[in-house]
Amino acid sequence: MTTTRRHALLLGAALSVSLFATACGSSGGTGSGTAAATQSASADDLQAALDAGGSITVWAWEPTLKQVVADFQTKYPKVKVNLVNAGTGNDQYTALQNAVKAGSGLPDVAQIEYYALPQFALGKAVTDLTAFGADKLDGTFTPGPWNSVHSGGGIYGLPMDSGPMALFYNKDVFDKHKIEVPKTWEEYIAAAKKLHEADPKAYITNDVGDAGFTTSMIWQAGGKPYKVDGTKVGIDFGDAGTQKFTAAWQQLVSGKLVAPVASWSDAWYKGLGDGTIATLVIGAWMPANLETGVKAGAGKWRVAPMPQWESGGKATSENGGSSLAIPEGAADKKLAYAFLKYANVDEGVQARVDGGAFPATTAQLNAPEFTDKKFPYFGDQQVNQVLAESAGQVVSGWSYLPYQVYANSVFNDTVGKAYISGTTLQDGLKAWQDASVKYGQEQGFTMQ
């Protein structure tokens, strides 16, 4: 059963890769005849840039990059890397878009999540890395993230991490109230009720309306609300997968069983530490964030497979995950790409994995020292085994909008109403759909 599913997934992945290859082929430039010459030339160029030295600015919020920057500067003492946290997610994109518009104050490297990359690529705000040799990296990364950095025949970033989802839970809380770790969403809802009844201050999780979480949940449930074909875009939140999600999650929202705390807020970190937020269904990049942000939770947290829609099912989805990209106006692109390659392909990957990051590179994901690593924070659990398994079970065929950054920014205007009034999630999603369609039309997309 499992093996056939895996085979199907692999087949799907292979198919989509070959489709991309065809797309690349039609635009020319990836012919294998010229490959060797270009590659060596560009590798020399990169080495020359590193030897010459200089200074680059990196905008990123990923905590493990700090070590990478330190190592990189030790290895290439002439290069100075300024690592700037310009905000997480949308805040940073706002700053980046402003800088692109102004044409000044641009970083040389920026962290961009997979869902946001198509928008930057479409607006020609980030550089096509094909010319730097990124097209030779086929097979270096797992298919999901590698597909995510392709857009219209170009490669606009190098995958930094990936976010197959899993259930992170506070074992102390579960033990204290004698609650079983839920395997299905039905059990999850039951656990939410049981926990909140036992301790009115404790919630199964937090949720005030999070676009990334909601789309990932719909993804796992088999929904495919976005259909994107170049500039032709279709949006439909009425499909069966979406309804499966809303029917279940509505019970948690209506029953006030989710903590009204925004993710990444101070209250959120506090709740994760003191046991009032008992679980997170979130991407595999979370361990590093827990270790650095929630010191009080050390030893209490564990990781389990994502709850399923059908008992015994094996479906997961991606949540977040980022690439590093080079803004179009960056001053020193060669040096920037050299850093990208170091951080996401070469030595930097191992440094980040050691820091708790979840890589997108196949070499690290399959390495025994990665899968067998014990995490003291998680009570010596071999966390990566759960996460790597999830990586292989991601439902294929999902796509984001080419203007997902905007769509996500109005999520709380529309779906957010379901969290503070009598509006249902399904109605909220319909309103979100309408707002997204309207924006798409205004931006010149062909809406279907």
Partner 1 sequence: MVATPRAGAPSGRRAASPGRRSWTGWRFVGPFMAVFALVFLAPIAYSIYLSLFRTQLIGGTTFVGADNYVKALGDPQFWSAFGRVALFLVVQVPIMLFLALLVALAIDSGRLYGASFFRISVFLPYAVPAVVAALMWGFMYGTRFGLIGNLNDALGVSLPDPLSSDLILASIGNIVTWEFVGYNMLILYSALRVVNPSLYEAAEMDGAGQLRIVWAIKLPALRGALLIATIFSIIGSFQLFNEPAILRDLAPNAITTYFTPNYYAYSLSFRGQQFNYSATVAIVMGVITMVIAYVVQLRGMRKGA
Q: Which residues of 73-101 are buried (b: 16+ CB within 10 A; e: fewer)?
A: eeebeebebebebbeebbebbebbeebbe
Q: Is 439 among the residues that bind partner 1 (CB under 8 A)?
A: yes
Nearer to partner 1, 44 or 413 (CB): 413
User: Whole-angstrom Cα distance, residue 298 to residue 170?
Assistant: 10
Asked if 125 and 100 count as a contact pair (C-beta separation under 8 A), the reply is yes
β-strand partners of 205: 258
Q: Any idea what DSSP says for residue 131?
A: G
SS3 251: helix
Three-state SS letters, 350-415: HHHHHCCCCECEHHHHHCHHHHCCCEHHHCCECHHHHHHHHHCCECCCCCCCCCHHHHHHCHHHHC
Q: From the list 39, 55, 98, 448, which residue makes contact with partner 1 (rule: CB under 8 A)? A: 98
* From 165, 406, 431, 437, residue interacting with partner 1 (rule: CB under 8 A): 406
Decide if residue 421 touches partner 1 (CB under 8 A).
yes
Stretch binding partner 1 (CB under 8 A), from 6-14, 130-138, 381-389, 409-417: 409-417
Interface with partner 1 in residues 263-282 (CB under 8 A): 265-267, 270
The region of 53-61, 168-176, 240-248, 440-448 touching partner 1 under the rule CB under 8 A is 440-448
Question: 3-class SS at 82?
Answer: strand
Of 181, 186, 199, 419, the residue at the interface with partner 1 (CB under 8 A) is: 419
Single out the residue of 88, 382, 409, 426 in contact with partner 1 (rule: CB under 8 A).
409
Q: Are 289 and 63 in contact (CB under 8 A)?
A: yes
State yes or no: residue 416 binds partner 1 (CB under 8 A): yes
* Contact flag: residue 262 with partner 1 (CB under 8 A): yes
Least Cβ distance, residue 31 to partner 1 (angstroms): 29
Collapsing DSSP states into helix, strand and coil, what is residue 254?
helix
Site for partner 1 contains 405 (CB under 8 A):
yes
Per-residue binding letters, 174-213, with partner 1 (x by CB under 8 A) = ----------------------------------xx----
Binding site for partner 1 (CB under 8 A): 90, 94, 97-98, 101, 119, 122-123, 208-209, 231, 260-262, 265-267, 270, 402-403, 405-406, 409-410, 412-413, 416-417, 419-421, 439, 442-445
